[in-house]
Amino acid sequence: MRFRTGLAAAAAMLLVLSSAPRAATVSKKLAFDRDKDIVVNLVSEGVELKTVRFSITGGTSLNPLRSGSGPQALIDIKNVSDHGMHVAAAVAFFDAAGNLVGAAEGNNIGTLDPGEPNTIKITMSFVKRAMPDAKTFQIALETWR
């Protein structure tokens, strides 16, 4: 009886894992610059990430609980596929020695419909105080149905 229960549980787990949505993730490391469009040109499953802008002015408050506080990344995306997609992005910032000095993630709320553009706004709320020292950043785009 115990063997059959274990076998049934294993079979159920395989079924769940095989039907779980699969995500595709692409990333790129680039030179950091603030207050200008940076060309990224990443594509994942028909979702394009063309540019990103970083604003760090006025966003270094020591109170991480203040709404809207912190440097921001504005990530321009567009779904050029023929089906709806879910989209998330992450950014990590590094100083000249390659040390991590900031990181955050965000997503497009809901499904991004075919042909639909949007801007993912990510506010760095916590790990942000050394952001002015950033020399490079890595950006990741993750997509799933």
What does pTM read for this prediction?
A: 0.79
Q: CB-hemisphere CA count at 13 Å for 125?
A: 10
Q: What is the pLDDT of residues 28-84, one digit of tens each?
A: 999 999 989 999 999 999 999 999 999 876 544 555 555 556 789 999 999 999 999
* Between residues 68 and 92, the one the model is more confident about: 92
Q: What is the pLDDT of residues 29-45, one digit of tens each?
A: 999 999 899 999 999 99
**Confidence (pLDDT) at 63:** 54
Domain boundaries, the chain: 21-144
Cα separation of 119 and 32, whole Å?
A: 19
Element (H, E) at 25: strand 24-31
Query: At the topology level of CATH, where does 21-144 sit?
Result: Immunoglobulin-like (2.60.40)
Cα separation of 29 and 73, whole Å?
A: 15
- Total number of residues shown for the chain: 145
72's tokens:
């921001």
